[in-house]
Structure 1
């Protein structure tokens, strides 16, 4: 992965960043990071916004443009949306529910196989994040000071399908809850379909 691709990946994973922050992450000088960003801006992949900083000095933060986000594609988006429409038209809403339920069962079985060997909540969520990353969600987990765990998905490879049928999102939340078990409570706190940069879930330990 070259430096330009690393820059895009960092902006995707971490959200808006200053040139200096990117320089530190990439091991570049601030001038080197700015050159990378200017090249990406010329290609229409990034854009910037100035906001207030210390002593009134504006701080320039760079983020992915719509074209930049498109570099992380929605898997087979047009085909998926078309198939959803065809299923609804030919077989009705009940058939689509059956399709979602079948996907739900398959995903749940695969995630259980990854999670059931882990004991602690943080380890279980990390195993789930690893499984989701393999599916293209660019997922990661973070143990928080209050004992809860944050499950973050920086990309949605089925975003077009989810926009077409939001039951896909409902289904995933329910699968996470069942896979992590009664000792955890899963709440979605950020949602791409609601305009957030990513999807994020707070996983809180609770009594079984």
Structure 2
């Protein structure tokens, strides 16, 4: 997603910020509300977004928030989902689940070694988190992080380029959590999970 057309900008905003009202999208794009409505209507006709009514607090009218559809989410890299799923199924069918676990363990070891090399001179947790965010973003995870009021960190991944593999085998998600824990230290907990219906994966990192 390198082009910055209005469609791509809206897709990116909804992917990274979650459901948005028309006015908020118009403000973010620097266009009028009417222009935003026209753009969103075209995107809805293309099946990329959908408008959902959410109840207002008090007596107000329900708010209309725009969400990405499955087709909208598919505009982001999927890591060759169909091929990945087929390969995993064939691996298990031919060699058994033990072979799949061996593949996951090997991938985890390689990933951890590579990440450690890239973070070797990071002086503290804050710098390790920031560098990990940069690495994961380069790998397609659309990552971000910030410090919470209690001094812990929240690392979020707005996209999962290996979602098909993770859906086929939860071991990939378990491996990711273990990698983060080994790399960052402290306590790492998954607070949100795409495979459980969340729009992103999020990890709380407590020193």
TM-score range relative to shorter protein: over 0.9
Unmatched segments (≥5 aa) in structure 2: none
Identify the residue that residue 199 of structure 2 maps to in structure 1: 197
Secondary structure of the residue aligned to 1:136 is coil
2:55 to 26, 47, 52: 52
Contact 1:186 1:202 in 2 (8 A): yes
Identify the residue that residue 40 of structure 2 maps to in structure 1: 37
**1:167 shift after superposition:** 0.3
How high is the TM-score relative to the length of structure 1? 0.93
Secondary structure of the residue aligned to 2:173 is helix
How high is the TM-score relative to the length of structure 2? 0.93
> 116-125 or 13-22, which moves further after superposition?
116-125
Cα separation, 2, equivalents of 1:28 and 1:144: 33
Residue correspondence of structure 1 range 129-168 to structure 2 within 5 A:
129-168=133-172
Cα separation, 2, equivalents of 1:118 and 1:33: 43
Cα separation, 2, equivalents of 1:152 and 1:58: 29
1:169 aligns with 2:185: no
> 1-10 or 116-125, which moves further after superposition?
116-125
1:84 aligns with 2:93: no
Matched positions, count: 203
Cα separation, 1, equivalents of 2:147 and 2:127: 9
1:67 aligns with 2:71: yes
1:6 to 9, 14, 24: 9
Secondary structure of the residue aligned to 2:190 is strand
1:21 aligns with 2:24: yes
| Runs (4+) off by over 3 Å | none
**1:198 shift after superposition:** 0.7
Q: What is the root-mean-square deviation of aligned Cα atoms in Å?
A: 1.3
Cα separation, 2, equivalents of 1:143 and 1:62: 28
Q: Deviations over 1:60-85 (max 9, x none)?
A: 10010111111113211111111112
Unmatched segments (≥5 aa) in structure 1: none
Cα separation, 1, equivalents of 2:147 and 2:76: 26
CA distance change for structure 1 residues 194 and 30 in 2, over 3 Å: closer, same or farther? Answer: same
